[in-house]
A and B are shown apart, each in its own frame.
Chain A
Amino acid sequence: MKTIIRNGRIYLDGKLVKQEMLIDGKKIAMIAEKITEKADKIIDAQGAAVFPGFIDLHAHLRDPGQTYKEDIVSGTKSAAKGGFTAVCAMPNTEPVTDNIASVEYIQLRAKEHGSARVYVIGALTKQSKGEEISEMATMKSGGIVAVSDDGKCVQNARLMLSCLRYAANFDIPVIVHPEDYALAGKGQIHAGKVATRIGLSGIPGLAEELMISRDIMLAESAGAKLHIAHISTARSLELVRQAKERGLLVTCEVTPHHLVLTEEACATFDTNTKMKPPLRSEKDRLACVKALKEGLIDAIATDHAPHADFEKEREFDHAPFGIIGFETAFAVLYEQLVLTKQISLDTLVDNLSIKPAKILNLPGGALKKGAFADFTIIDLKESTTFNKEEILSKSKNTPWLDATVKSRVKFTFMNGKITYQDK
């Protein structure tokens, strides 16, 4: 099966170039000004941009265990609609993905029914209870790309050091969601001006920063590869900068929402503004944008966290943390950061493709001959409305519900096959 993409602008070395692309089977066979070869199928991109498939380092697919929120089928469909061709699944499933059988279940489901590649992240500790090290070496032989207890941040420094040393032993990257539980307490939103005004208890930036300091020191001592998930404060970024300057194996990611929203969004008590880490101050947001531009931040990751309506539709402090993110990520950032000239288009695209691939050593991230045909075609002039009927995730918990933003995904291809096509 051969497919030619015509009339597109192909993203090559950071620029959109008028070229044609030939896909042969699963791979990109040629990118050239004019392709004369005979093909089974011609796709007219109508001037839209052709980007490498986006890669998400941080997603919750809820499968197995909470498939009323999301499952591998719906989750990867939603990912494909957002231009993603690969997502990393966090292990906080039920049961926890802390063993080889669970890893294989996700891989098999994704392979047979998924609309995106799914890379599995194994638990750092057994059942993510923060008590004993997981069988991470066995899981690595089964294909996990990293270990993490994500939202169940290991509080015990001795155990964390041990986990990092063990992971370093087997060359497994460790992803952390840094949060000191005592400082975070029962906090609901950022401990800032809005929390003072509306009386919700606060999660101070210190809860994140203190844990990042600890984990950087532990990772240095262990010689481990540390990836910090969804960084959110200016001071946290300063800590990462210092670690990088000292040559440590530390990387970090930021979510789309921390790049464009602040604590002010919580003032309406919309539970779709409730997530961890919380939306921070404008000063923190600007620091994240600056760090993204400067390359201090290594990737954009969604932290796609589906929750059902009945869970989010309740009193603010009883609603769960988290929002969905696949379908809004590119469009929201394109409109609010690229079109406003705060970051360039290549900064956005690279942080969604080649840069995350590099962190976990994943294939893909660039369009070139011989690479897997994982790409997405996005019309930058059209627009998308995120209403409940359009959203493909099973859950609709997004702060951008019913918002209309610039750009529209027309096609997504994975392994040379269409995984999403706009109607």
Chain B
Amino acid sequence: MIPQFIGRNVYDLDDYSREEIMYILEATKGMKEINTREYKKIPTLRGKTVCTLFVENSTRTRMSFELAASRLSADVVSFQASVSALQKGESLQDTVYTLNAMGIDLYCIRHSSPGSPQLVHKYSQKPVINGGDGRHAHPTQALLDIYSIWEKLGDLKGLKITIVGDILHSRVVRSNLIGMEKLGAKVTVCGPKTLMPGNMESVYGCKVEYDLGRALSGADVVMGLRMQLERMSEGLFPSLEEYSKHYVLSKDTLRHAKPNALIMHPGPMNRGVEILPEIADNTNSVIVEQVSNGVAVRMALMFLILGGKA
């Protein structure tokens, strides 16, 4: 049976079955081919309008969504606001009512508040792709990560994937845990205890390690996460130096992993803090390719949701 995607929301990956995720990966493969052409455009979403509604700064993800929509020939409009502006002025509800009145067919939203994509759908009654809502979810990032692994290593079943860094504040980790687990991977998360949420094992069925060596032991895939300076002032860790000493991805620490372990990072990277250039730039790194795959994954989702013609 062919999965049905038309009109569906992408809040997170828990709404999608293994088969549906595989179907999205196949569709992504096709889109990736388009992106290698000289004229990177197909007419499939001509006449449709996609709105990127970004209430939290993110140039990269927004560009990725906008490029994806443009390459499918949709019209793209962009609404950017800071949370403080939305707080003082028009509410999210009124903003969506206003945008909707202009005839939007699909929303791609980034917001600092978990659950905001659901609100945008409630107010617009149009499909919504979550481009990151607070610490909650970032399903398109998880899909592009999963795609990047699948493309290089094939079936994820039985692969050991280790994610290292600030797990507490990471929506990327949460969505990846759901998606990777559905595809049968064994995920280990690693970071200092102050940056690790409670109940990870029982909520996600993943493994938790506080020691990097143990976490990386036998890993097929290693993903680093961005460490943010502000966590210091929040009293969660003492210094970048000390963090780096215990959790940096380097040639030395990666000797615990499998010899050709795939190296990933959702970006932007802090070279020298969570990852050393010797790892970020080595031949097993797919960090740059993840970005290209991001455009393709987003194209695939828009195509499927808006019912584009192949």
Contact = CB atoms under 8 A, between A and B. Distances in A.
Contacts of A315: 92, 111, 113, 115-116, 119
A200 B136 contact: yes
The 10 closest A-B pairs by CB, nearest first: A269-B115, A199-B135, A199-B136, A315-B113, A196-B197, A199-B114, A193-B199, A316-B115, A317-B113, A196-B199
B198 interface: yes
Contacts of A316: 113-115
A193 B174 CA distance: 13
A318 B113 CA distance: 8
B134 interface: yes
Interface string B192-214: 00000111101100000000000
Contacts of B113: 315-318
A264 interface: no
B27 to A, nearest CB: 27
A157 interface: no
A397 to B, nearest CB: 16
A192 B199 contact: yes
Contacts of A32: none
Interface string A181-214: 0000000000111011111110000000000000
A202 to B, nearest CB: 8
Interface residues of B, number: 25
A193 B92 CA distance: 28
Of A196, A200, A313, the most chain B CB neighbours within 10 A belong to A196
Contacts of A200: 114-115, 134-136
A193 B93 CA distance: 29
Interface of B: 87, 91-93, 111-116, 118-119, 133-137, 171, 174, 197-200, 202-203
13 contacts: A192-B199, A193-B199, A196-B197, A197-B174, A199-B136, A199-B171, A200-B134, A269-B114, A310-B91, A315-B111, A315-B119, A317-B114, A317-B134
A314 interface: yes
Interface of A: 191-193, 195-201, 269, 310, 313-318
Nearest to B133: A199
Given A192-B198, A269-B115, A316-B113, 16 more contacts: A191-B198, A193-B198, A193-B202, A196-B199, A196-B200, A196-B203, A197-B174, A198-B114, A198-B136, A199-B136, A200-B135, A310-B91, A313-B91, A314-B93, A314-B119, A315-B92
A191 B134 CA distance: 16
Contacts of A318: 87, 113
A201 B134 CA distance: 10
Nearest to B116: A315
A153 B87 CA distance: 26
B29 to A, nearest CB: 30
Contacts of A192: 198-199
A318 B119 CA distance: 13
Contacts of A191: 198
Contacts of B112: 317
Contacts of A269: 114-115, 118-119
A314 B91 CA distance: 7
Contacts of A317: 112-114, 134
Contacts of B92: 314-315
A194 to B, nearest CB: 9
A338 B111 CA distance: 43
B247 to A, nearest CB: 20
A191 B198 CA distance: 8
A316 B137 CA distance: 15
Nearest to B202: A193
A199 B134 contact: yes
Contacts of B198: 191-193, 196
Contacts of B119: 269, 314-315
A194 B200 CA distance: 11
Nearest to A266: B115
A200 B137 CA distance: 11
A193 B203 contact: yes
Given A315-B111, A317-B113, A318-B113, A197 B93 contact: no
A273 B136 CA distance: 17
A315 B203 CA distance: 24
Nearest to A281: B199
Nearest to B111: A315
A195 B115 CA distance: 12
A198 B91 contact: no
A8 B29 CA distance: 73
Q: Could you say which of A191, A310, A314 has the most chain B C-beta atoms within 10 Å of its C-beta?
A: A314
A201 B203 CA distance: 16
Q: Which of B87, B198, B202 has the most CB of A within 10 A?
A: B198
A310 B92 CA distance: 11
Nearest to A188: B114
Nearest to A204: B198
B174 A199 contact: yes
Contacts of B137: 199
A110 to B, nearest CB: 34
A199 B12 CA distance: 12
Contacts of A313: 91, 93
Contacts of A196: 197-200, 203
Interface centre among A192, A201, A314, A315 (most CB of B within 10 A): A315
A198 B178 CA distance: 12
Nearest to A311: B91
Nearest to B175: A199
User: Which of the listed residues B87, B115, B171 has the most CB atoms from chain A within 10 Å of its own CB?
Assistant: B115
B204 to A, nearest CB: 8
Nearest to A196: B197
A313 B91 CA distance: 9
A416 B125 CA distance: 51
A234 B114 CA distance: 28
Nearest to B171: A199
A201 B113 CA distance: 10
Contacts of B197: 195-196
Contacts of A193: 198-199, 202-203
